[in-house]
Amino acid sequence: MAPLKSWLQINAKSHFSLHNIPFGIISTPDTPEPHAAVAIGEYALDLQVFSQQNGFSALSIIQPHQKVFSEPTLNAFAALGRPIHRVVREYLQSVFLDNGPFPDVLEKNEQLRKAALLPLKDCKMHLPMFIHDYTDFYAGLNHAYNVGVLFRGPQNALQPNYKHLPVGYHGRASSVVVSSTPIRRPNGQILTNLAAEKKEPVFSECKKLDIELELGCFVCKPSQLGEPVRIEDAPEHLFGVVLLNDWSARDIQAWEYVPLGPFNAKNFGTTISAWVVLMDALEPFANAGMANDTELLPYLDEKDRKSNYAIDLSVSLTTSSGKTTNIGKTSAKNLLFSFPQMLAHHTIGGCPFNVGDLLGSGTISGESKNEKGCLLEQTDNGKTEITLEGGEKRKFLENGDTVTLTGVCGSEEGALVGFGDCVGRIDPAVQLSF
Amino acid sequence: MPSLKSWFPIPKNSHFSLANLPFGIISTASKATPRPAVAIGDHCLDLQEFSASGAFSSLGFDVSVFSKPTLNDFASLGRPVHGSVRKFLQDVFAENSSNAQVLQNNKSLQEKCLIPRDGVTMHLPMQIRDYTDFYAGKNHAFNVGCLFRGPDNALQPNYTHLPVGYHGRASSVVVSGTPITRPNGQILENPAATPKVPTFSPCKRLDIELELGAFLCKGNKMGTNIPISEAADHIFGFVLLNDWSARDIQAWEYVPLGPFLGKNFGSTISPWIVLADALEPFRSTGIPNDTQLLPYLQEKEKNVYDIKLQVDITPDGGETTTILNSNGRNLLFSFAQMLAHHSIGGCPMAVGDLLGSGTISGTEPGSEGSMLEISKGGKETVKLNGGVERKFLQDGDTITMYGVCGTEETGLVGFGECTGKILPAPKL
């Protein structure tokens, strides 16, 4: 199928082609209260302005609901449900379509174009949703295996439960921030001498600060206490996908995590990309994900449905000297469980969900050396170093390092569906005195 | 300290004496909108109605907080305001008060504001931004560790150095009285078998966990920490917390990332938040820690409380049995220490955050805070009144937790009930 062409000049390599139309929350100097927008090419279409000036006049189904575009989060829009998301997205594609059915709405409406089509560089991005609860899963099998080998050897790398259920833990919702928010290196308790008989931690800044390349998925349909979401129905509950960097303090984690799981090692910050790519935009790139040789219990059985996605993911590190190095590339196909399976599992005992809840996929790594989604794997837990452009070495992150995650589906120019950047710069730890 | 005497009828043995004045969110048949109230004896004072009369005007705070459906806005006003509101209310209810004109001599305002508690519906008192459960009940941690690893390895090396905790599921915290549905899930029937193949069934080891909860009234910006010396400013008040647990579901899922579905099917809190001010007279030392703590966790005050705790079980249509008596002192770490630890790496805390203490067990038989411990890992049955036996919870069982401080002479300060009834698992 030939790429959709717009009357708007959109660079053929843009991740915000007419095939995408991701949703986000912006503010501008003229409209400082955060409100909804979609990204297209190098522009944001300000949905508050667009709706207030009757841009949706040809779309009757959205008429009673247009206030949602003036809300400071996408929660109210998401709550309208996937049929409405679908119709709104398709309408906006039609509005931007070259020789499309609605030329008077925007193409020939200079006044509305001036008011509503804003250069992305002039927009400040905000967290796209209000996140009641955030759960991080562990479905990147290669990552789980690699980490398991580092700590337990190949025979015991994966726990007995790993392939039977999507292992996950509750994360800290308050610590999820939008791309470009600086991330402060945490202080905490660290066991510097792991081999010592008597385990005495010291208090210091984290010395093994790491990244985790993940996808995040937002929920758009709530579920009640005591009422599981069935695997057949799970896709209706999912709004869209972002990139997610689950910054991790490996040394703090090693000392604290037995037996109740990672805690302060994670809750100092988690970054998500600003533009939510709707499930419909990802549909052409649906993929089965990794094969599971374990027979799953029926509540997790998706049968032939493909709910993972062929997204090309990339991690780069920019040092404070300004040099950027690509430090990993992999595919989101490298997940053992899908978001519908994670949701069905998460609710199977009756855990309730709210619109805006966030699910993290877990670190995504491929099989080969250059496909590792975290530095822990890339450096064998700090045994080896990676070499950056210009010759600097890294085991873990240094202050001033900026990490950028990107993701894009497809290879056809003019039809790329991407996520924008998921960026964070490491700031020095707070100096605490006692 | 003599008890404050009231002109208002407060039963001598009420947990809601004038020494208490806990805050909650109520609704009534005549007015369905949830709004703030204070419990007093067998009644509650509707704070929306009371503040509409102008009664609080001398205190100079924004009374619109008492027209909100949660206590978050009131809590945000800070501890000095909480303190002045509570003192004012104590004075308004006191015998020979200088403020008798406010309520004592105002029959029509009494009719508007004072509502019998048995006619009132309680709601979650706060909008919970995030919920974290700690593990600071050392006797519980030791008992459970013994069951799985023997006494020499019962406690992990980190246990006495830091308050171990995990993020909980905020959406699953419910108010007392909410029915709790037995979860279905993956269970490893035979842990000794190889290979390990789980089955899918209702939880067969459904348990309780007797805990205290602390609500925050002040947060911190991401990247900053809350010093332990300031922790008290951030803590609003306390509730009882039942961290219902599915032991079999937990056993299969929890390695390596911690408890998950074993917990997030429901956690119950009592509806009346006892303010930190009300617990002042009951400060106590907790379980002594012979580990030298890092400076950020060292505290000067005694930040644990002497609270008598009790848990009753009532089978469907059956007799009630008290299955344990414990005390809030049975904690290795205080809430101040939990808060200092939680924020030490820059985690942002917020108004409405809930911290759970972890299961509170004593050292004596009859003081263990979970059925896992009482039944010695499910090996021994517990004999209840009426000839009934239990290892874990059965469908139809109601668990009720109580907590109270002080004496009738000085005025009891209690938490009301933290109760829940187990409903059968859905058939899927």
Residue A61, in any domain of the structure: yes
B167 is catalytic: no
Distance, in Å, from the CA atom of B245 to the CA atom of A205, rounded to the nearest integer, reads 35
Q: What is the pLDDT of residue B1?
A: 46
Closest residue to B346, CB basis, from A160, A184, A350: A184
Distance, in Å, from the CA atom of B58 to the CA atom of B45, rounded to the nearest integer, reads 19
Q: Which of A175, A180, A191, A260 to mutate to test the interface with B (most CBs of B within 10 A)?
A: A260
A46 vs B: CB within 8 A: no
Give, for all 428 residues of chain B, the pLDDT tens digit: 456 799 999 999 999 999 999 999 999 999 999 999 999 999 999 999 999 999 999 999 999 999 999 999 999 999 999 999 999 999 999 998 989 999 999 999 999 999 999 999 999 999 999 999 999 999 999 999 998 889 998 999 999 999 999 999 999 999 999 999 999 999 999 988 988 999 999 999 999 999 999 999 999 999 999 999 999 999 999 999 999 999 999 999 999 999 999 999 999 999 999 999 999 999 999 999 999 999 999 998 899 999 999 999 999 999 999 999 999 999 999 999 999 999 999 999 999 999 999 999 999 999 999 999 999 999 999 999 999 999 999 999 999 999 999 999 999 999 999 999 999 999 99
> Which DSSP string do the residues of B93-127 spell out, in sequence order?
HBTT-TTTTTTTT-HHHHHHHEEEGGG-EEE-SS-
Question: Do residues A103 and A43 share a domain?
Answer: yes
Task: At B335, list the tokens.
Answer: 């809430």
Question: Do residues A163 and A297 share a domain?
Answer: yes
Q: A-chain residues within 8 Å CB-CB of B168?
A: 170
- The response to whether B111 counts as a known ligand-binding position is no
| Rg of chain A taking only CA atoms, in angstroms | 22
Q: What is the pLDDT of residue A1?
A: 67
CB contact (8 A) between residue A171 and residue B165: no
Q: What is the pLDDT of residue A434?
A: 81
Question: Do residues A184 and A92 share a domain?
Answer: no
Tell me which residue has tokens 């925007």: A106
Distance, in Å, from the CA atom of B288 to the CA atom of A106, rounded to the nearest integer, reads 71
Q: Which residues contact A294 (CB under 8 A, 6 or more apart)?
A: A163, A164
Q: B-chain residues within 8 Å CB-CB of A165?
A: 186, 198, 252-253
Q: Domain with A281 in it: what CATH number?
A: 3.90.850.10
Q: List the 375-414 stretch of B: residues with Cβ below 8 A of A.
A: none
Q: Coil, strand or helix: which one is B13?
A: coil
Task: At A320, list the tokens.
Answer: 């404070």
Distance, in Å, from the CA atom of A296 to the CA atom of A280, rounded to the nearest integer, reads 27
CB contact (8 A) between residue B348 and residue A186: no
Which among A72, A353, A68 is positioned nearest to A217, based on CA atoms? Answer: A353
CB contact (8 A) between residue A430 and residue B266: no
Name the strands in the sheet holding A43-46, side by side, starting at the edge strand that comes first in the sequence.
Answer: A117-119, A43-46, A35-40, A23-27, A124-126
ipTM reported for the complex, 2 dp:
0.97
pLDDT (average), residues A364-382: 96
Distance, in Å, from the CA atom of B114 to the CA atom of B50, rounded to the nearest integer, reads 9
Question: Do residues A110 and A194 share a domain?
Answer: no
Identify whether the C-beta of residue A68 lies closer than 8 Å to the C-beta of residue A33: no
CB atoms within 10 A of CB A74: 29
Question: Do residues A189 and A84 share a domain?
Answer: no
Q: What is the pLDDT of residue A433?
A: 84
Q: List the 293-332 stretch of A: residues with Cβ below 8 A of B.
A: 297-299
Which among A351, A301, A309, A348 is positioned nearest to A215, based on CA atoms? Answer: A309
Task: At A179, list the tokens.
Answer: 């791309």
Closest residue to A170, CB basis, from B135, B168, B203: B168
CB contact (8 A) between residue A174 and residue B348: yes
Task: At B368, list the tokens.
Answer: 């263990």
Q: Give the angle A206-A211-A214 at the CA atoms, nearest 5°.
A: 145
Q: Which residues contact A213 (CB under 8 A, 6 or more apart)?
A: A243, A245, A313, A315, A328, A330, A363, A364, A365, A373, A374, A405
Distance, in Å, from the CA atom of B293 to the CA atom of B211, rounded to the nearest integer, reads 23
**Measured between CA atoms, how close is A8 to chain B, in angstroms?**
40
- The response to whether B247 counts as a known ligand-binding position is no
Distance, in Å, from the CA atom of A345 to the CA atom of A356, rounded to the nearest integer, reads 18
Question: Do residues A88 and A227 share a domain?
Answer: no
Q: Which of A143, A237, A345, A346 is catalytic?
A: A143
pLDDT (average), residues A55-59: 97
Q: What is the pLDDT of residue A152?
A: 85
Q: Which of B133, B199, B222 to mutate to test the interface with A (most CBs of A within 10 A)?
A: B222
Q: A-chain residues within 8 Å CB-CB of B257?
A: 138, 167-169, 261-262
Q: What is the pLDDT of residue B191?
A: 87
Q: Coil, strand or helix: which one is A96?
A: helix
Q: List the 281-320 stretch of B: residues with Cβ below 8 A of A.
A: 294-296
A vs B, Cβ pairs < 8 A, gives 205
CB contact (8 A) between residue A165 and residue B198: yes
Q: Coil, strand or helix: which one is A62?
A: helix
Question: Do residues A154 and A292 share a domain?
Answer: yes
Q: B-chain residues within 8 Å CB-CB of A172?
A: 130, 132, 167, 347
Torsion of CA A243, B128, B202, B254, to 10 degrees: 50
Question: Do residues A122 and A222 share a domain?
Answer: no
Q: How many domains does chain A divide into?
A: 2
Task: At A274, list the tokens.
Answer: 């600003």
- Of A126, A146, A172, which residue constitutes the final position of a domain? A126
- Of A101, A126, A151, which residue constitutes the final position of a domain? A126
**Measured between CA atoms, how close is B354 to chain A, in angstroms?**
12
Q: List the 183-242 stretch of B: residues with Cβ below 8 A of A.
A: 183-186, 195-198, 200, 203, 219, 222-225
Residue A434, in any domain of the structure: no
- The response to whether B312 counts as a known ligand-binding position is no
Q: Report in angstroms the alpha-carbon separations of A327 from A113, A330, A391.
A: 40, 10, 13
Which residue does chain A place closest to B156, by CA atoms?
Answer: A258
Distance, in Å, from the CA atom of B303 to the CA atom of B310, rounded to the nearest integer, reads 21
User: How far from the centroid of its chain's Cα atoms is residue B229's Cα?
Assistant: 23
> Which DSSP string do the residues of B120-146 spell out, in sequence order?
-EEE-SS--S-EEEE---HHHHHHHHH
Identify whether the C-beta of residue A37 lies closer than 8 Å to the C-beta of residue A47: yes
Question: Do residues A119 and A162 share a domain?
Answer: no
- The response to whether B263 counts as a known ligand-binding position is yes
Closest residue to B253, CB basis, from A165, A297, A298: A165
Q: What single letter denotes the amino acid at residue B170?
A: A
Which residue does chain B place closest to A184, by CA atoms?
Answer: B223
Distance, in Å, from the CA atom of B375 to the CA atom of B324, rounded to the nearest integer, reads 12
Question: Do residues A80 and A228 share a domain?
Answer: no
Residues composing chain A: 434
CB contact (8 A) between residue A297 and residue B162: no
**Measured between CA atoms, how close is A329 to chain B, in angstroms?**
26
**Measured between CA atoms, how close is B237 to chain A, in angstroms?**
21
Residue A366, in any domain of the structure: yes
Which among A206, A319, A254, A401 is positioned nearest to B346, based on CA atoms? Answer: A206
Q: Report in angstroms the alpha-carbon separations of A223 from A3, A352, B178, B395.
A: 38, 5, 16, 23
Residue A217, in any domain of the structure: yes
- The response to whether B390 counts as a known ligand-binding position is no
State which residues form the domain around A256.
134-427
Q: List the 222-251 stretch of A: residues with Cβ below 8 A of B.
A: 225-228, 249
**Measured between CA atoms, how close is A349 to chain B, in angstroms?**
4
Which residue does chain A place closest to B174, by CA atoms?
Answer: A225
- The response to whether B267 counts as a known ligand-binding position is yes
Identify whether the C-beta of residue B59 lies closer than 8 Å to the C-beta of residue B51: no
| pLDDT reading at A358 higher than 80 | yes
Closest residue to A348, CB basis, from B132, B135, B261: B261
Q: B-chain residues within 8 Å CB-CB of A256?
A: 158, 162, 164
Closest residue to B170, CB basis, from A133, A181, A259: A133
- The response to whether B301 counts as a known ligand-binding position is no
Burial class (CB in 10 A: 0-12, 13-18, 19+), A68: buried
Residue A9, in any domain of the structure: no
Distance, in Å, from the CA atom of A410 to the CA atom of A412, rounded to the nearest integer, reads 6
Question: Do residues A316 and A360 share a domain?
Answer: yes
Which residue does chain B place closest to A174, by CA atoms?
Answer: B348
B88 vs A: CB within 8 A: no
**Measured between CA atoms, how close is B236 to chain A, in angstroms?**
19
Q: Coil, strand or helix: which one is B61?
A: coil
Distance, in Å, from the CA atom of B46 to the CA atom of B110, rounded to the nearest integer, reads 10
Distance, in Å, from the CA atom of A360 to the CA atom of A363, rounded to the nearest integer, reads 9
Which among A256, A214, A217, A258 is positioned nearest to A238, based on CA atoms? Answer: A217
Q: What is the DSSP letter of A153?
A: -
Which residue does chain A place closest to B257, by CA atoms?
Answer: A261
Segment holding B49, helix H or strand E: helix B47-52
Identify whether the C-beta of residue A54 lies closer than 8 Å to the C-beta of residue A101: no
Segment holding A102, helix H or strand E: none
CB contact (8 A) between residue B167 and residue A132: no
Q: Are β-strands A213-219 and A238-245 bridged in parallel, bridged antiparallel, or unpaired?
A: antiparallel
Q: Are β-strands B283-284 and B235-242 bridged in parallel, bridged antiparallel, or unpaired?
A: unpaired
| pLDDT reading at A376 higher than 80 | yes
- Of A72, A107, A126, which residue constitutes the final position of a domain? A126
pLDDT (average), residues A222-251: 98
What's the longest Cα–Cα distance across chain A?
76
**Measured between CA atoms, how close is A286 to chain B, in angstroms?**
28
A199 vs B: CB within 8 A: yes
Distance, in Å, from the CA atom of A274 to the CA atom of A128, rounded to the nearest integer, reads 6
Tell me which residue has tokens 């609500």: B215
CB contact (8 A) between residue B266 and residue A264: no
Question: Do residues A279 and A410 share a domain?
Answer: yes
Q: Domain with A49 in it: what CATH number?
A: 2.30.30.230
CB contact (8 A) between residue A132 and residue B171: yes
